[in-house]
Amino acid sequence: MNDVFEKYRISLRSILDSFLVNPILFLLLKLKLTPNAVTFLGFLICCISAYFISSGSFLVGGLLVLFSGFMDIFDGALARKMELITDRGAFLDSTLDRLSEAIVLIGLIYFFSTSNETNLVLLTSLSLVFSILISYLRARIEGLGYNSKGGFFTRPERVLVVSLGLIFFSPELTVTLLAIATTAGLFHRFLIFWRILK
């Protein structure tokens, strides 16, 4: 089943490359932006989105989260296009990805805490921890010498749920769905990796 999710992500990435990524890459090259600059720009946009989310401006915050998610596609694509793929760039990208995800959810935690929504604070905190753990499991198994991208509800799916949930629905529904999905995603990835370990 883990191959199904990975094939879906590869197929979606191919469609995005044709209709969205390549035209914007041309623009980024014209602007002479480096991959690391795009990474930092995406993180800055996430910080701004967290501010709007924490103040209750969910439409603006959701749009910025979505835009930041697209920026995360462009930094890697730009690095490949410019042949600037480096370990330092990959390390920076992974670090800021985790921080971006955390800061958005911290914005939600702050909003719910000011509204005395204890249950939603707990659900958002759970989502934050489990989101980071889903990414950590892959990093850990690769550190053990295995190569696997198995599992579902990885960062792209989480970005879509948060951004679209805030844009079209409510923060309460968004956080509830996120908590359920990150819990399922964490246990699914753990079981996949546990089975391939010796």
Active site residues: 97
C-alpha–C-alpha distance, residues 110 and 51, integer Å = 10
CA dihedral 182, 144, 97, 15 (to 10 degrees): -80
The DSSP string of 182-195 is: HHHHHHHHHHHHHH
C-alpha–C-alpha distance, residues 131 and 183, integer Å = 9
Nearest to 96 by CA among 152, 36, 7: 36
